[in-house]
Amino acid sequence: MEHPFGIDFGGTGIKGAPVDLEVGDFAADRVRIDTPKPATPQAVARVFGEIVGSFPVSTKPVGVTVPGIVRRGVVLSAANIDKSWIGEDADAIFTEALGREVHVVNDADAAGLAEAEYGAAKGRGGLVMVITLGTGIGSAMIWDGQLVPNSEMGHLELDGAVAEVTTATSAREREGLSWEAWSERLTAYFRHLERLFSPDLFVVGGGVSKSWDKFGHLIKVETEMVPATLQNRAGIVGAALVAHRKAGSPD
């Protein structure tokens, strides 16, 4: 049985696998290749070809996460990837390179969609905000199962600074913050989101969510808050889901 394919494109590694959308998990073991340097669209396209070529030939669409703002397949910002991406129609470039319909999506948006469809936010209505804590802060806003793309909530200003600079996991590690001290910053950040958006649910992702029992109870907010459940599978699963939904769409 053929499945849509998901590729998670990051600053250090590119990972891909076919995805069984019935269950929201890989249909075969993923393949990982180091991100080329420089990570130009053309160099990355070659790696995508290697990864897709590691699996049986398929006509199903391919979804790709990109660490940047994406609008109708065009990449508008570039974090941890080559600046030559900016302004490029990545959908068109990769569709031609792979000979299959390809759709790109912001990496945090892909992870958020996966959590809404299969993970911690499955079956939840209203406004769900999926916040990923890592080198920066990624975000996805899901309204009744529909993505509001490119929310970029890590870039909000908080106490005179960009929120992700002072509040991401990297800030905790860089400054040697205790879980308690870091959670005070997280509380301020999530309360700011509450004031702006009044969400129904926060889902907290990123690698640090594995340590949820060390800090989750220390974040003092009114909104229900739960850890993400798909972990490092979310990007690939979400990308494949986006490709499946957009397949055949004029956008």
Residue 24 lies in a domain: yes
Structural domain that includes position 148? 124-229
Claim to verify: residue 128 and residue 61 sit in the same structural domain: no
Q: Among residues of the chain, what percentage have pLDDT more than 70? A: 98
* Full-model pTM: 0.91
Residue 97 lies in a domain: yes
CATH code, domain carrying 222: 3.30.420.40
Average pLDDT over residues 42-53: 96
pLDDT tens digit sequence for 22-45:
999 999 999 999 999 998 999 999
Kindly indicate the confidence band of residue 84, based on its pLDDT and cuts at 50, 70 and 90.
very high
Residue 116 lies in a domain: no
Spatial CB neighbours of 102, under 8 Å, sequence gap ≥ 6: 61, 62, 63, 64, 90, 91, 94, 95, 243
Claim to verify: residue 15 and residue 36 sit in the same structural domain: yes
Residue 118 lies in a domain: no
Claim to verify: residue 60 and residue 130 sit in the same structural domain: no
Claim to verify: residue 222 and residue 240 sit in the same structural domain: no
**Is the sign of the CA dihedral 228, 229, 232, 237 positive or negative?**
negative
Residue 85 lies in a domain: yes
Kindly indicate the confidence band of residue 248, based on its pLDDT and cuts at 50, 70 and 90.
low
pLDDT at position 70: 93
Claim to verify: residue 183 and residue 242 sit in the same structural domain: no
Claim to verify: residue 240 and residue 222 sit in the same structural domain: no
